[in-house]
Every structure is written in C-alpha cells, then in structure tokens.
Chain A
C-alpha cells in the first residue's frame, strides 16, 4: 500500500522557504511585494490584503479567496470554512471569491506536495504538464482542481495556515492599539475581545495596522477537538443560485456582439481535415464564416443552431491512416500481445514471487477487462473567447485556469498578461475539464472570424472527442499454499497514469510484484474520476474476492484477516458490513458483495445488495463507510460519496466506449447510457472519523462500487464478472 511521505505543517512552510516553494509562503501568508501584485485583483477601496487567501475590509467584510473551481464538489464552502475555522471568522458573513487565473494563485500547496515527493500526486498534474512534471518553473503554473486535492492540500496547507496567520496579525495589532498583552485577547466570529477591560472591536478595525506587521509564518493551528466549523455540516454557498437558474456556467457567458460556433474534429483521433466542401452550407441563414483549422472544422454563425445545421451540411473529408482499421477487438488483441511478450516495467516488488510460486501447491490466475469510458459531463464542452487588439479574454469552466491561460498565451504567441481567463461554474468536470482543447478552439475561432465567439460542442462531439478513461486488461496471478491461502500476488496490466500507488494492495500477502506494459493507440486518454483507481479498484477487489473463494472463506472475513495490520481498514470494513447487514438472509435471486479501496487518502468500503432475478443486475442498496480522517463538511462529504457511487455504478452497469474503424462508436445518451433515477439504489453512508490526515472526497466513492457489484453478482449466480460493464449476469465465467 501507499507509503506517504511524512508531511507536517512546519515541513510545508520550511520546504516552501527553501525551494521554489518560497513563493508558497510568500503568497500564502506574508504581505509584501507579491501581494502588491495581487492587490489590484482583489482589493477595493479601503481594503487591505493580509494574505492571498483572505482579505479583510475596514467594514469587517472578510473575503475568502479560493484558488479552485466549483464543479459541484462544494469546494468553495469547505475551503472557506477551513479558513474561517483558524481565523475565528464569522463564516456566515464571509464572502467568497474564486481566485483569478494569475500566477500568484498557482496552486502552491499542490506544487509543494508534488515537489516534496508526496506520493499521492493527482492525475491532472501529469497530463496538464505533459510529462514535464519535475520542472518547478512549470509546476508553478498549476491551479488545478482535481485529484481530490482541494481540501487535502490547499485546505490544510494554505487556508488553515493563512487563517491562523491572519488571526494572529489582527490580535497583535489589537494588542498594540489597546496596550495589552496579546495573550489576554480572545477572538470569536470576526471580533477581538479584551475581557479584562470589557473592550471589543471587529477585525476590520485593525486591518490597516495589521497589514504593516510582520506575520508569523508558523502560526499555531487549533487541534481538532477545538474545531467549531470544521466537521459541521454547512449549507453549500453555491446552491441557492443553482435552484433558480441564475448560476452562471461557462455556456451562459454573455459578451456584446458575441457570435456562436460549433466544430467537428476527425472522428479518428489524430487525423486531419483533408478537404472541406462548403457549397451546401455557406449560404445557409445566419452563417458568418466557415473555417478549416486543419485539426477540425468550425462554423461561426448568428446562433448555435444555425452553426450546427451548417456544420452538418458541410462535406468534409479526413486524412486516412492505419488507425482507421482499429476496432475494439483488435485493440484487445494488441493488449494481449503486449501482456504476453511486451517489456514489463516493475512498479512495485516485495519478497520473491518466483520462489513463492516454486513452493506453491497451485497457481490461480484471472484476467479482467475494463473498457474506455467517457466523462459525459452534463454541460457539453464550451468556451467563449474574444481576441482583439493584442489581448484575449476567455470565459469558461475549467479545472485548470492558469494552465489553460498559459497554454493559450503560448499557442497564440501572446504575453501571459494579455490573456484574461474568467472562470465559471462547471457543469460537471470529472477530469475532462482539466484539458484545454475546447478553449484553444474557441480562441482560434475568435481570432479567425474576428468576433467574440461562444463555441459550443454538440453532445456528439463531446462524446466522440473526449479524453477517455483507458480501456485496460489486467492479468492477476497468485501462488496458493496447501491450505489455498495466497503466498504471492502478481499483476501485469496495460496503461498507467497515476496516482502511482493505484495498483498496490493493502493485504498482507508476503510476495508481491506489480508490472505495467505499454500498448498505446491513437485514442485520446485522460484522467477520469479517481484516475487509475477506477480500474485497479475493480481488478484488486475482484481478484481478492476470487482468492477468498479459492480459500473457501467469506469475502468479508478473508479481507479482514489480511488487513489485520491496518486498523483503519478493519474499522471501515466492519462499519460497511454492519450497515449492509452482511450475512443476513436475503430473498432468492439477491445477494451481497463487498469491497474496500483506499484512494486519495480516504478509505472507503461498500456493501452492494443486488437482485439478478431479471437477468440484468439491479442494485437495490449500497452501504458505504468511509474514513477521510476528518470530513470538513460532513453533508458535503456524504453527497460526494453518493455521487461517486452513482458515477462508478453507471460505468459498471452501462459505461462502454468502443472503437469502430478507429472512431468512437457512441455519440449521445441513447448509446452511452447514464444511470437514471428509476435504477438508482438507496445509498446509506457512514463517515468513520479518525486522527489521520484529511483525505479526499470527490473521488474515493467511485473505485469500490464496481467490484462490490461484481462480487455480489458472483454470490447470486456463481459467475465471475471479469469484464465491465455488467449488462447481463449470465455472461460471466462460472467458477
């Protein structure tokens, strides 16, 4: 299992001072030249910037500045609460501002985690930086929302520290003004009190004086037992605007003189536009211009519908290549060849698998397959751009505003400061909006047409030009002793993004070897909710279940015995088993399945109850137990578990993108089905608190659901579901 680098708050600040991370500290909590740069973005009349993550006005309005985008995960609520907690600020009166895309707001705590060799680095980092992940200068361009990092890194690494530092400054300024020792003051809800002289004043009174003071770069943080906000369910600040139609998503951007555009890229990724015959489209109503951009064709028109009708009327020919012959069967055959004879890279090794196999009573093997998956965000990809007079404005939802801005500047040969990116709510993201492709196209079409352009992809384009969760085959092999207990665990699989610990197992099996082989194709890949944990959760938790069966043991008891060195795992497993009534009788045709996966530092176990009496599996209930250390906003965390479970269940029951003649065969929700309310199970979640460092919320609910379902189907039918999705329970391998 993952060995996380030791991380302390002092470590964070110290490391920050030494390496490029010096900026971390400077921006995070020390007013100075860097904050002057920030001031023009966030400071109004009579306001003083104390720290990059918070500003306090003389009227005592406290604004939390959040360097992450809201995609439904409640990050603005959770991070502002973390700041308010340490600051003793009045959270209910707090204002929240999403940080603009400028370098000073780069996601320093995330960078630091990365530079310091933190093992739990999120998937987006690698893709966004295109492999140049160790270049600190580039790493500073990160302002990424993803990898369940916001609360884990920005929250604990910056918001809490900034809050505590800001509070200390205010107290110091008050003590000086009142001529009393700082230790005689107390703070509550944005007010400083001196009980001895019965004096009190709002924080804002001291904002100006405090901004002249040298802050403590190592402020004392509260201990968890003293929290009054963190750990309490708070109403999400973004919700009221999401029930009355006023929430502004990227697609809702309004710019004077704006035109609408839509695009089509070659269905076979990597191909080019060979020729465009515009004759049937160019005189259609509302059409302004048609652009062959080489990698795609764009139509600019007065309205989206007109642009789309014209796009469909175009006669486009694409370049051809040998990729045109690839279909899903051929891809899997290519994978099989790589697994048979490709060069294996060892990712992890413990003990000696070969020696264990030599001593084994028998070898047990299984092969698992998962397909490509699309993200299928509800809001189709879109961005609005206006390029004029050497400057460019962009309005869009993105998980990576700063990286996007820098990429635009580079691609269009502009200065970074001439590109302004205005962020909006994201109508789903799940990793897809960490990519910059749709923004680049909007900028290019604005430049080419000379208009402010709102580019909207059709659902078909959104489905067929995604960056997919990879299709993966994994082969698993265990040496069993004479009691059928596992002596070794060996895996080899295609594809690896990250996090690096995804293929590791928590189980006490003495000899282990995890290996990857490369088998690339032309299909675009990208991070998908929980990244490599989606496939490895399914592989690991299916194979351990098969080993339990080989040993003649119950899946819950078998796991429990092999996890005895990990008390947090055991507790989470026990809570899930109890919540899911593990072992209690069920009607004919129903059964339960269990699984447990740690991802992004949260341990999550699930018990699924399934009904197979109708041939297709119907999930009746999911019991979910999760240990994130501390859930900052418990109701928000619970919502994330529900969401992660449905997202993963949808993939396990329906999700499958396939290649036909090199192109994605699916196009819209009729052939890329999404789980609907009539098939959604009841979900019960219990949060198991521990003293562990705060773990993620957005992703850890997803990995355990597919194997729990597959294991439940086995318990109901005696058939192993060794490939996803599970549409029909009769197709599995009898065992």
Chain B
C-alpha cells in the first residue's frame, strides 16, 4: 500500500507501486481529469503536482509519490468551488478547443505562476514547452497566463 495525500485527503493505494502514478490516479482513485497522452513524458497531458512541483505522472512510479502531497486538476479549484485565477483566465480567453490537454496545461501554468508571478515570454516558453496542444491554442495559452499573472 502506498500512502499519499491527494488533493488534501489521505489515501492508501492498492495499485502495484511500480505502476505509473497516472494510472493509480485515474483507475484506482477515479480522478479522470488527469489525462494519458504519450506514456513517455513527451506531451504533458498527465501533469500533476507532487509537493508543488509539476511532474509527468505517466512516467513517475506510484512508489515515488509515497508520503507526498499530490495535486491534480480536481484539486486546483478550491474547496468552495472557486476557480483558480488560471482557470478563470482560461475561460476568459476561451483557451480550450478539444480540451484534452488542458488539465496538463493548467497544472503547468499554475506551477509556473507559483514560482514566477510575473513571467516573461521566455519564462512561459520554458515552463510550457513540455505541454503539447494539438489544437494549437498557444497564442491563447500565452495570453491567459499573462492575464492570470495580473489578476492573481
């Protein structure tokens, strides 16, 4: 059993500890907002926070998350249901198209703004290049991050 704290709640997971964290989150915990995209940390769709750091859950064994605080997209909205500034900016700029990559994009953007409250274009490129958006909404992602930075 792997113990971890997921979105503020303690959980004991039966999934084999060698399994990528992604599948424990999706299949055992039923939190399907975190997406499977490539399985080799190339696309960022599976991005979650482990102790506040963005990681690719498809390539992180569950065992590596033992005792950590894990946040998924479901934990970004606060307990009262208020959307995070990044989520609000995503709606304002009408960022998602198909939407499949957006959980990962938002997790990367939230982590960026935690460490870099006023990011430059270069900061955004560095933090967000690991997240593919196949619908090509990069212009809107960039604009939304800047809006969120202003309003956070």
With both beta carbons as reference points, the residue of chain B lying nearest to A676 in the complex is identified as B129
Interface string of A195-239 (1 = CB under 8 A from B): 000000000000000000000000000000000000000011011
A358 at the interface (CB under 8 A from B): no
- Residues on B with C-beta less than 8 A from A305 are 19-20, 23
Contact status A669-B132, CB under 8 Å = yes
Interface string of A228-255 (1 = CB under 8 A from B): 0000000110111111111111011010
A245 to B83, CA, bound (A): 12
A-B contact pairs, 30 of them (CB 8 A): A72-B99, A236-B94, A238-B99, A242-B96, A244-B87, A245-B32, A245-B33, A245-B34, A245-B73, A285-B16, A303-B15, A377-B100, A379-B100, A425-B100, A426-B98, A428-B134, A458-B39, A639-B140, A642-B140, A643-B136, A643-B137, A647-B136, A650-B136, A668-B42, A669-B40, A669-B132, A674-B134, A678-B129, A680-B136, A683-B139
Interface size class of B (residues with CB under 8 A): 35 or more
Contact status A303-B23, CB under 8 Å = yes
- Residues on B with C-beta less than 8 A from A426 are 98
- Residues on B with C-beta less than 8 A from A247 are 99
B126 to chain A, nearest CB (A): 8
With both beta carbons as reference points, the residue of chain B lying nearest to A377 in the complex is identified as B134
| Closest A-B pairs by Cβ, 7 of them | A245-B33, A646-B136, A427-B100, A72-B97, A242-B99, A72-B98, A245-B73
Contact status B99-A677, CB under 8 Å = no
- Residues on B with C-beta less than 8 A from A241 are 99
A602 at the interface (CB under 8 A from B): no
Contact status A677-B30, CB under 8 Å = no
Contact status B23-A677, CB under 8 Å = no
- Residues on A with C-beta less than 8 A from B76 are 244
Contact status B33-A244, CB under 8 Å = yes
- Residues on B with C-beta less than 8 A from A243 are 83, 87, 90-91, 95-96, 102, 106
Contact status B94-A379, CB under 8 Å = no
Interface string of B125-152 (1 = CB under 8 A from A): 1101101111111111110000000000
Contact status A239-B96, CB under 8 Å = yes
In the complex, which residues 600-649 of chain A have their Cβ closer than 8 Å to any Cβ of chain B? 635-636, 639, 642-647, 649
With both beta carbons as reference points, the residue of chain B lying nearest to A304 in the complex is identified as B23
Interface residues in A, total, Cβ within 8 A: 63
- Residues on A with C-beta less than 8 A from B134 are 376-378, 428, 647, 674
B80 at the interface (CB under 8 A from A): no
B124 at the interface (CB under 8 A from A): yes
A285 to B14, CA, bound (A): 13
Contact status B39-A73, CB under 8 Å = no
Q: Most chain-A CB neighbours within 10 Å: which of B35, B38, B83, B141?
A: B38
- Residues on B with C-beta less than 8 A from A40 are none
| Candidates B40, B72, B102, B106; contact of A670 at CB < 8 Å | B40
- Residues on A with C-beta less than 8 A from B63 are none
A674 to B23, CA, bound (A): 24
A543 at the interface (CB under 8 A from B): no
Which B residues are within 8 Å of any A CB, using their own CB? 15-16, 19-20, 23, 27, 30-40, 42-43, 45, 72-74, 76-77, 83, 87, 90-91, 94-103, 106, 124-126, 128-129, 131-142
Contact status B97-A378, CB under 8 Å = no
A240 to B31, CA, bound (A): 17
A678 to chain B, nearest CB (A): 4
A378 to B87, CA, bound (A): 20
A6 at the interface (CB under 8 A from B): no
A459 at the interface (CB under 8 A from B): yes
Contact status B91-A642, CB under 8 Å = no
Interface string of A290-328 (1 = CB under 8 A from B): 000000000000011110000000000000000000000
With both beta carbons as reference points, the residue of chain B lying nearest to A645 in the complex is identified as B136
- Residues on B with C-beta less than 8 A from A254 are 30, 32
A734 to B129, CA, bound (A): 34
- Residues on B with C-beta less than 8 A from A675 are 136, 138
A184 to chain B, nearest CB (A): 41
Q: List 14 other contacts, CB 8 Å, given A303-B19, A459-B39, A649-B136.
A: A72-B96, A243-B95, A243-B102, A244-B74, A244-B76, A304-B23, A304-B36, A427-B101, A429-B98, A643-B97, A668-B38, A669-B38, A674-B134, A677-B142
